[in-house]
């Protein structure tokens, strides 16, 4: 089978030239999207989220799609179907998300997070800086711009595409599962393509074939019926911050292992061949941790760093707050304290069992007079994708051509919970390709996307769309 | 010796009648002070603090005092000396503070904290509700109003009084020590009177003869050089909230004992006679903890509750914050996390040794890649007052007359660090008398002062001023 269908191959070169020639406009279109404050976690930005959805639907609509903003039980999603699909051509469902993470702490941003700029990185790379520059506005626009280039040059796309863009990925996609079920018929396709992952390193493209799952829980511990003066009551009254720190401080043992009973049940060691491949990748603390100011891997001491961050389950306290946190001092014993705690899961772990085990861990340690209340923020199992998928081989060849280096197959430590729903609800496999780098500061101040990631990302998709013409059916 | 000098005794009855007749005006004057947002912990309220100082100086000035707002290296203080002191009369230095605690969490206040009202308590008591209603504006105004009544009825005070009012008590009185040294000559007196403590119960007046000391420290733990995505870095990167909770969670053992090495060095058991008196007071969890929604004393298991709250040292985490604490969820590993930790000290403990031991406790537990930075918010040793002071016996008799019950001598769990400075710098003993109740919610939302505390507090001071005429010299 040829790498690309003859018709597509003859057009690809002109399409790539168009990508290069039109790149400044691509950037302007990305900036317009980045300026919209579509923070899904904070209800204060609900109108901005809707604005982002409408903006994207309008833009995708201009490429020959019937693009509609559709309600969910939360923030709206977009479904965009081709007005004139090619009968018999391969059909890809592209998934991305327009919502972004909150921006706090705002004072650590060098520039306002919703005023995108292209600037020099310290090492001379040109970067796009804004909240969402990478995750996921920059990434999803690489695919949109590749479609636009094909449309501009040839008048149509080389394969059939449906867009599915959601607005609650950063808060667990709670309303998206039901949405998929409801619109299943419209979302028929051969397989799914997602652009929300990273490269192996700045020179080496990657396809992600496993994703960790996620359980995100919030615990609030209450003791007295009001805040107390620590002089009057100190020593006699239970302090919920003391209780919370004692419980959370016991979540890891001295070897970095998580102490919740049953937490590792069902977790398997890597198959020897994968472990051997990963050992060859030779991820060192020097490479991975030094750029973020660290030097010693903090996970299980008897595991490789690459295992700690991609194939082993984790527990992180993502936020904690209680008592007086303002300027100066206040001698208060707070009535309550709370923490947000999340777990990255691997194959074999059941999210709801892990959540129950965590809650049991907390409640079994509560002293007299304390109550714990929990809030479920997200839960999704880990995903292992099919390494044998035909489009995977096609995409891998296209990536290798664009970047001049073999694309590698990797496991990601992050979670894209919706990928499990795609399989469960739509019966479709997903292909995860993205151009993010480890130093993109996603979820952090000064999020960036390399200008090269954006440019070569568009070119990569232009090639992959052509490659799919010869590898039609998953 | 008579209880009161003959001249004062003959006038006291008229003064007490005046207190009753003028009480509505006393309340109005207290309200005017309560409306000023003099929060010392937050620099945003510095102008309000100055306003409170000027307001009080004007008011005290109207009672025949040369009252001046004086600069310190922080918020200003007030010194007010009589324009026409009586040669040879006993001379009292009255100390109070015009600053108040922050008001957060604001949403738990039933009414705006700086809009004082008199309202019905659930049990039928009438209460004054506002930040500072008790601590210390309500309390200090009992003394001011008693002076006003004497001045109105007799044209002068029965003894000589100097006022010393500061504005940084709630943040550790850091600049007040040097201020005392600088103005030592103006502050000459026979002894000091402080109105910032409580009654034993709503019917039983009390004089406080011991105070716990205070060390207040803030610790900030830093790991990575920026916030991280918990999917990309989770498992490999150190999480400062995990480190902070592990360290703080180890501060107490399962018996409520503080685990910092050397913490209890120098701490003595109560003398058997005092222990016997306290056992007779029979403070129960039912009485003390039930009103705040608790039932089991949280301190050292082998100590009486009254010891836990007044004669034993404590450790409380007063505030903690790190990572994402907003609505919903964010999968972040924070770059830093911090906590405010305070210790109530008893006789025999050196504040600076305790602070150093705490910091050593933290730094010795830091894993690789973590740094701890500390901020010193306050430090003062415990105080034990002289039970044999003559004015103490005089005040005790006056209190017993006003309340119809023997005034008791108690130890307070709270700290008024400046009392140690009074002894050290001015060479003066302090007499601690106040009318606060355990349910006053000081330092908490919905702070209140019983209307009866305010009214009978004024009457108590009117009597005590008369009693001092016959017990002149400490």
Give the pLDDT confidence of A142-191 residue by residue, as tens digits: 999 999 999 999 999 999 999 999 999 999 888 999 999 999 999 999 99
Tokens of B43: 């620099």
- Choose the weakest-confidence range: A65-74, A110-119, B438-447: B438-447
Going from the C-alpha of A80 to that of each of A164, A469, B322, the distances in angstroms are 7, 20, 41
Distance CA B432, CA A454 (A): 71
- Report strand pairing: B91-97 vs B160-166: parallel
Asked if B264 reaches chain A (Cβ–Cβ under 8 Å), the answer is no
A275 has a pLDDT exceeding 80? yes
Interface confidence (ipTM) of the complex: 0.73
Interface test with A, best of B100, B214, B231, B260 (most A CBs within 10 A): B231
Beta bridge partners of residue A449, listed in sequence order:
A128
pLDDT of residue B1: 44
Which of A108, A299, A442 has the CB atom closest to B229's CB atom? A442
Under an 8 A CB cutoff, do A377 and B328 touch?
A: yes
Asked if A301 reaches chain B (Cβ–Cβ under 8 Å), the answer is no
A95 has a pLDDT exceeding 50? yes
B400 has a pLDDT exceeding 70? yes
Which of A321, A333, A344 has the CB atom closest to B320's CB atom? A321
In this prediction, residues A92-114 reach a mean pLDDT of: 96
Which residue in this structure is represented by tokens 């039901």?
A: A178
Residue A380 banded pLDDT, cuts 50, 70, 90: confident
Among chain A residues, CA nearest to B135: A229
Tokens of B83: 């324009």
Tokens of A168: 């609650």
Contacts of A299 in chain B (CB under 8 A): 235-236
Furthest-apart CA atoms within chain A: distance in Å: 84
Q: How far is B82 from chain A (nearest CA, A)?
A: 34
Distance CA A128, CA A74 (A): 30
Distance CA B176, CA B182 (A): 10
Asked if A233 reaches chain B (Cβ–Cβ under 8 Å), the answer is yes
Closest CA to A222 of A204, A193, A254, A244: A244
Q: Compute the residue count for chain B.
A: 474
B290 has a pLDDT exceeding 60? yes
B473 has a pLDDT exceeding 60? no
pLDDT of residue B380: 84
The pLDDT mean for chain A works out to 93
Interface test with A, best of B208, B215, B245 (most A CBs within 10 A): B245
Q: Which residue has the higher pLDDT, A464 or B419?
A: A464
A437 neighbors A453 (Cβ within 8 angstroms):
yes
Distance CA A432, CA A283 (A): 21
Among chain B residues, CA nearest to A300: B235
Asked if B323 reaches chain A (Cβ–Cβ under 8 Å), the answer is yes
B399 has a pLDDT exceeding 90? yes
pLDDT of residue B387: 63
Q: How far is B436 from chain A (nearest CA, A)?
A: 11
pLDDT of residue A1: 44
What is residue A248's three-state secondary structure? helix
Distance CA B460, CA B438 (A): 19
Which of A245, A329, A342 has the CB atom closest to B317's CB atom? A245
């Amino acid at each position: 089978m040829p790498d690309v269908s003859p018709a597509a191959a003859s057009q690809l070169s002109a399409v790539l030239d168009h990508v290069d020639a039109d790149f400044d406009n691509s950037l302007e279109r990305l900036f317009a999207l980045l300026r919209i404050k579509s923070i899904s976690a904070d209800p204060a930005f609900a109108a901005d989220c809707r604005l982002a959805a409408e903006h994207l639907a309008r833009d995708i609509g201009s490429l020959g799609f019937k693009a509609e903003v559709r309600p969910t039980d939360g923030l709206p999603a977009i479904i965009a179907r081709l007005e004139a699909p090619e009968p018999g051509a391969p059909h890809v469902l592209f998934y991305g998300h327009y919502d972004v993470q909150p921006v706090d702490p705002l004072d650590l941003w060098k520039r306002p997070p919703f005023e995108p700029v292209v600037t020099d990185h310290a090492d001379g790379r040109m970067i796009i800086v804004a909240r969402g520059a990478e995750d996921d506005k920059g990434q999803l626009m690489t695919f949109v711009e590749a479609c636009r280039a094909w449309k501009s040059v040839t008048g149509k796309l080389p394969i059939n595409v449906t867009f599915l863009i959601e607005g609650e990925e950063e808060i667990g996609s709670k309303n998206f599962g039901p949405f998929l079920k409801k619109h299943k018929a419209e979302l028929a396709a051969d397989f799914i393509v997602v652009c929300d992952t990273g490269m192996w390193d700045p020179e080496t493209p990657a396809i992600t074939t496993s994703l960790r799952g996620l359980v995100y829980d919030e615990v609030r511990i209450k003791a007295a019926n009001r805040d107390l003066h620590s002089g009057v009551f100190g020593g006699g009254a239970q302090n919920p911050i003391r209780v919370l720190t004692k419980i959370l401080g016991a979540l890891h043992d001295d070897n970095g292992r998580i102490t919740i009973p049953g937490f590792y049940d069902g977790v398997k060691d890597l198959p020897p061949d994968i472990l051997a491949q990963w050992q060859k990748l030779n991820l060192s603390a020097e490479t991975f941790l030094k750029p973020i100011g660290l030097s010693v891997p903090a996970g299980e001491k008897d595991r490789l760093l690459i295992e700690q961050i991609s194939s082993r389950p984790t527990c992180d306290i993502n936020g904690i707050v209680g008592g007086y946190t303002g300027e100066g001092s206040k001698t208060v014993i707070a009535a309550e304290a709370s923490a947000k705690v999340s777990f990255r899961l691997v194959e074999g772990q059941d999210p709801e069992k892990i959540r129950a085990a965590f809650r049991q861990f907390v409640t079994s340690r509560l002293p007299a007079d304390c109550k714990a209340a929990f809030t479920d923020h997200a839960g999704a199992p880990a995903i292992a994708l099919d390494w044998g998928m035909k489009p995977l081989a096609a995409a891998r060849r296209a990536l290798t051509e664009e970047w001049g280096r073999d694309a590698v197959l990797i496991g990601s430590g992050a979670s894209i919970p919706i990928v499990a729903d795609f399989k469960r609800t739509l019966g479709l496999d997903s292909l995860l390709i993205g151009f993010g780098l480890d130093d993109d500061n996603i979820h952090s101040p000064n999020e960036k996307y390399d200008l090269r990631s954006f440019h070569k990302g568009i070119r990569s998709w232009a090639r992959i769309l052509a490659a799919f013409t010869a590898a039609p059916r998953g």
